[in-house]
Structure 1
């Protein structure tokens, strides 16, 4: 580490802060890569599953492109390109958004529902194996509170 004036303005991480940050990053990468590998057996990517599962949570199986992009922290154009690929596989279809002339509504198709029904047990088993079952109930509760706090969903 340099000690020039510019470096003096940097609020460096302590050894414990850096250890926690690096452990968090490794955890996220490990869990995500393992669950993605399991989803791949159904021909789905992580974003595919996110879109399908979100749509399935809605009673009408729809969401606006804008809402879905915000949920995924993606730009509308990035999600639009991804939706095009999902549409080509008949997982979703697009419909005009009556409230946004430039937007669209993503609609879960029968093929999308069937694919999600097939993939969900694999995904849930993967989440359990690579995440839930590795933690005690107390650790899981604490991690849930921490995640909500960092994501801005908690106090």
Structure 2
């Protein structure tokens, strides 16, 4: 019985490691918590502890573990629904500053880096932006940012 308890504990730990590398939103973690609780129960019973002691300890282990798994699983599912906040796509709707401009294309500084930029919406009648003018990034096309003039209320 003790060997089976140790095997259940090892299986539970192995499933947690698999969950860490192949996230299943808590499915494998839930199974691993149940395996660990069963392993704890088997070890207590094999060690000569009374059922009145082994059952509450195993149940407590299972309840705490499943509670942690449920909270973590909900956070994983919520994070999957969030928009991308990293990489070039994180620049969309952020302010940039023009460093140089010529015609409809130029260079802007956004998020600490220099980017090629072009005016997204036609401002043919307006004068070209000058160095230091604020613009807002409306999209990312490869390594070129699509920008528009910042409205007065958007400027920090």
TM-score after normalising by structure 2: 0.23
Structure whose residues are more often strand by fraction: 2
TM-score, normalising length: structure 1: 0.24
Which structure would you say has the larger Rg?
2
